[in-house]
Structure 1
Amino acid sequence: MKRREFGQYCGLARALELVGERWALLIVRDLTVRPRRYTDLLDGLPGIPTNVLSTRLKELEQAGIVERQVAPAPQRGVLYTLTAAGHELEPAILTLGRWGATQLGEPRPGEIVTPESVTMTLRAVFNQEAAAGLTASWEIRAPGMVLHAVVTDGKLDAGPGPAPDDADLVITIPLTDELASYQNLMQAMKCGLVELAGQRKLLDTFTRLFAPQAA
C-alpha cells in the first residue's frame, strides 16, 4: 500500500504521513503503555480488521517507530514495542488525549474502555507540579481492569496490572452498568463509592493529582 503524501516540506505533514493513517496512533498509544503481541493489539482494538493491523504494523516498522522483539522467557513468540523514536510520540499523544477528552460527551453504543486508554488518561492528567517530592502508590481495581499508579519523588509510573510492590492504597470500584472509564472511576472516588484498603488519606491525594487540569 502506497503511503499518503501531502507534498509539503513540513514537520506536521511528515508526521501525518507516518502516523496519520486510521488506527496508527491507537496502536502507538497501546505500545506506549507496554509491549504487546499481535493478538494483544487485536484484542485491545476491537473493530480493526486483521489486514489493517498487519499493514499498520508493517508501516510503523518501516518508519522506525515500531520494532519486533523476542518475548522474554517464559513467554514465547514476538512482541511489538516502540523504538526510541516511537517513544518520542508520547507527549503528542498525551496532548491529543487531553484535548480529545473535552470532546467525548456520552459513550456511544458499542464503545469500550481498555486498560491502555485509562492508563494514558492518567498519564495525561497527572499534575507533576503538585506531586513534587511525593512518594506514594495506588492500585485501582474495577470490573475487568486493574491499574497501578506509583509516584516516586514526584515522577509517575502508571500502567495496567497490580502495583509492583504492595500499594499504599488499594481502591476497589464496584461499577455495575457503567464503563470503567477515567471519568466514571474518578466520579466514584469523589462520591465515596469505593472500597479502600491501606492509607485512606491517599484517596484525596489521588483525586487531586489526577484531576483534569484547567487549560
Structure 2
Amino acid sequence: MRSGGAELAALATLLADRTRADICLALLDGRAWTAGELARHTGVAASTATEHLNRLLAGGLLAERRQGRHRYVQLADSRVAELLEAMVAYAGPPRTEVTGLKAVTVAATLARGRTCYDHLAGRLGVAITDALTAREFLDPDAGFALTGSGLALLTGPLGVDPAALRRTRRPVAKPCLDWTERRTHLGGAAGAQVCRRLQELEWVKRIGAGRAIAVTAKGEAGLRDLLGIEPDALK
C-alpha cells in the first residue's frame, strides 16, 4: 500500500516535466485535443507527445476519448483543472518578463477573460463573481453557497436548467483561485453553467483555438443589465 507521500510524489513527478505541464495547461480550455495538436502546441515530436500522454493517462490526470479512428485526450475531471489552476496561482507570475508583441497580447487577452476548464476566469470571471456576491446571489460566509435568489437568477433570467445543477457530483458553487487576478472566481456546477449559457446567449465568444474569451457588445449590455457590470471593468 502506497503512503500519501508516495502518491503526492508520483503526482509531482508527472507535472515536473515541462512538456507534460504544458500539455495539462493547454487542456485547461476544457476541450479534447489530439496527440498531434498537442505535439505542435508543445513543439515536440508526435512520438514524444504520445509518450507523455500515456504517462498522464496512466497517472489519472487525463482521460481518453475515441471517435472512429481518432483518439482525443482531455483533463480527467474538474478537480484536475482546479488543481492545475491553484498550482499556477501559487507559483506566481513568471520570473522572466514576457517580451514580444504577440506574447504580450496573448497574456493580456488571457488576463481579461479565459476559461478555466469549463468556467470563466480572468477579470471577466472575477467581475461576475464579485457582482454575484455583492447582490447576495452568492454567500461567501456560508461556504461560497448559491443563495435562493442566486438560484432564481440562474434558472430564471439566465436560463440555466435546474437539473444541470443537481445531476452532478460537483459542488453547486465552489471558489476557484484565479491565477492572474489572485482572487476568487466561481467554479463548480454553477460556474460551468454560467459559462455555457453566456456562450449560448452570445454574450461571450472564444478567441482563436485557445482558452481566451472575449465579451461581445451584446454581452456588455447583458452583463450590465443583469449584474450591473460596467464594460470598463472588463478591460
Any idea what SS the aligned residue of 1:108 has?
Answer: coil
Aligned equivalent of 1:91: 82
- Conserved in 2, the CA contact under 8 Å of 1:28 and 1:82? yes
TM (norm. structure 1) is 0.53
Q: CA deviation at 1:57?
A: 0.5
Which runs of 5 or more structure 2 residues have no equivalent in the other structure?
Answer: 133-137, 139-149, 160-185
Q: CA deviation at 1:56?
A: 0.8
Q: Choose which of 191, 201, 205 in structure 2 pairs with 1:166.
A: 201
Distance in 2 separating the partners of 1:55 and 1:158:
36
Distance in 1 separating the partners of 2:52 and 2:23:
8
Residues 5-36 of structure 1 show CA distances to partners (whole Å, capped at 9, x for unaligned) of: xxx94554232122221221222233341111
Q: Choose which of 67, 81, 88 in structure 1 pairs with 2:63.
A: 67
- Conserved in 2, the CA contact under 8 Å of 1:70 and 1:78? yes
Q: Choose which of 32, 52, 55 in structure 2 pairs with 1:56.
A: 52
Q: CA deviation at 1:80?
A: 1.3
Q: Which amino acid aligns with 2:48?
A: V
Aligned equivalent of 1:155: 191
CA RMSD of aligned residues (A): 4.9
Which runs of 5 or more structure 1 residues have no equivalent in the other structure?
Answer: 1-7, 138-149, 174-179, 190-194
Percent of aligned pairs with the same residue?
Answer: 15
Q: How many residues align?
A: 169
Distance in 2 separating the partners of 1:116 and 1:40:
20
Distance in 2 separating the partners of 1:103 and 1:153:
30
Q: Choose which of 73, 79, 93 in structure 2 pairs with 1:80.
A: 73
Any idea what SS the aligned residue of 2:25 has?
Answer: helix
Residues 117-169 of structure 1 show CA distances to partners (whole Å, capped at 9, x for unaligned) of: 932394366344643325459xxxxxxxxxxxx9999534587x9955233x3
Residues 48-94 of structure 1 show CA distances to partners (whole Å, capped at 9, x for unaligned) of: 343431221011122233232212xxx7511113335xx42222211
Higher relative contact order (CA 8 A, sep 6+): 2
TM (norm. structure 2) is 0.49
Q: Choose which of 180, 191, 197 in structure 1 pairs with 2:218.
A: 197
- Conserved in 2, the CA contact under 8 Å of 1:69 and 1:79? yes
- Conserved in 2, the CA contact under 8 Å of 1:171 and 1:197? no
